[in-house]
Amino acid sequence: MTLAEIEAVRRSADLVFDRHAVDSAYDRMAKDITRELCDTNPVILCVMSGGLVPTGELFTRLDFPVQLDYLHATRYQGTQGGLTLNWLARPLHDLKRRTVLVVDDILDEGLTLSAIMEYCREQDVEAVYSAVLVEKKHHRKAPGLTADFVGLEVEDRYVFGCGMDFHGYWRNLPAIYAVAGTT
Ligand SMILES: O=P(O)(O)OC[C@H]1O[C@H](OP(=O)(O)OP(=O)(O)O)[C@H](O)[C@@H]1O
Ligand code: HPA
């Protein structure tokens, strides 16, 4: 795709949630996370790259002792999305007996989150929670998978902004858009 096409997609996209709606969602999520985890000395695991923006937004809203780490696991990488995760980096912290909060931008089919949660459980964590800014509503979800903290729900369209990319671009937008013509 050319840069001109990338820019055209942004121009023709539909605004799904403006920056105020997104900020309110972060506020709500941070409140819920605080209520649940403030006494657990948790480690937050940012799922790179999409989780970068939501993790930063949530992290600075937390006012209790919390550590930060990251992992890089991807199933899309510009493709249709395979069934297995490609692990590019694992967390540096020893997660044994820790409370872990995995933060990502979007829960779509759920295979990414499901594999990461399983990885955490294999590390003998005390407890593992998940937070996503966006959950996409459809019936292709990994069975039984929900996130513990969800900011916003979107319909079954390709969305970008707030960490979510369109061909590697537009993660930087502070609002959420849907590609025109996607249903
Ligand atoms: O629920 P799923 O259908 O598994 O999809 C959700 C995952 O897809 C995206 O990651 P991607 O692999 O595109 O990498 P990225 O974070 O670098 O965009 C997104 O950031 C989630 O991690
Ligand atoms: O709708 C989406 N947008 C961006 N990244 C994604 N990864 C899975 N679904 C999506």
- Residue 83 is predicted with a pLDDT of 72
In a domain, 29, yes or no: yes
Residue nearest to atom 13 of ligand 1 (CA): 76
In a domain, 6, yes or no: no
CATH number at residue 24: 3.40.50.2020
| Reported ipTM | 0.98
Q: Identify whether the C-beta of residue 69 lies closer than 8 Å to the C-beta of residue 99.
A: no
Q: How far is the CA of 33 from the centre of ligand 2 (A)?
A: 24
**Would the pLDDT of 69 be above 90?**
yes
Q: How far is the CA of 58 from the centre of ligand 2 (A)?
A: 20
- Residue 172 is predicted with a pLDDT of 98
132 CB near ligand 2 (under 6 Å) = no
In a domain, 5, yes or no: no
CA-closest candidate to residue 42, choices 139, 131, 171: 131
In a domain, 54, yes or no: yes
159 CB near ligand 2 (under 6 Å) = yes
- DSSP labels for the chain? --HHHHHHHHHHPEEEE-HHHHHHHHHHHHHHHHHHHTTS--EEEEEETTTHHHHHHHHTT--S--EEEEEEEES-TTSS--SS-EEEE--SS--TT-EEEEEEEEESSSHHHHHHHHHHHHTT-SEEEEEEEEEE-SS-SPTT---SEEEEEE-SS-EEBTTB-BTTB-TT-SSEEE-TT--
Q: What is the pLDDT of residues 118-172, one digit of tens each?
A: 999 999 999 999 999 999 999 998 888 899 999 999 999 999 999 999 999 999 9
**Would the pLDDT of 78 be above 90?**
no
In a domain, 177, yes or no: no
- Residue 142 is predicted with a pLDDT of 83
CA-closest candidate to residue 182, choices 138, 119, 118, 116: 138
Q: What is the pTM of this model?
A: 0.95
In a domain, 180, yes or no: no
Q: How confident is the model at residue 87 (pLDDT cuts 50, 70, 90)?
A: very high
Residue 144, domain extent: 20-155
Residue nearest to atom 8 of ligand 2 (CA): 108
Please count the structural domains in the chain. 1
In a domain, 171, yes or no: no
Give the whole-number percent of the chain exceeding pLDDT 90.
88
Residue nearest to atom 1 of ligand 2 (CA): 158
Ligand 2 atom closest to residue 154's alpha carbon, by position in its atom list:
1
Q: Identify whether the C-beta of residue 95 lies closer than 8 Å to the C-beta of residue 120.
A: yes
119 CB near ligand 2 (under 6 Å) = no
160 CB near ligand 2 (under 6 Å) = yes
Q: How confident is the model at residue 79 (pLDDT cuts 50, 70, 90)?
A: low
In a domain, 39, yes or no: yes
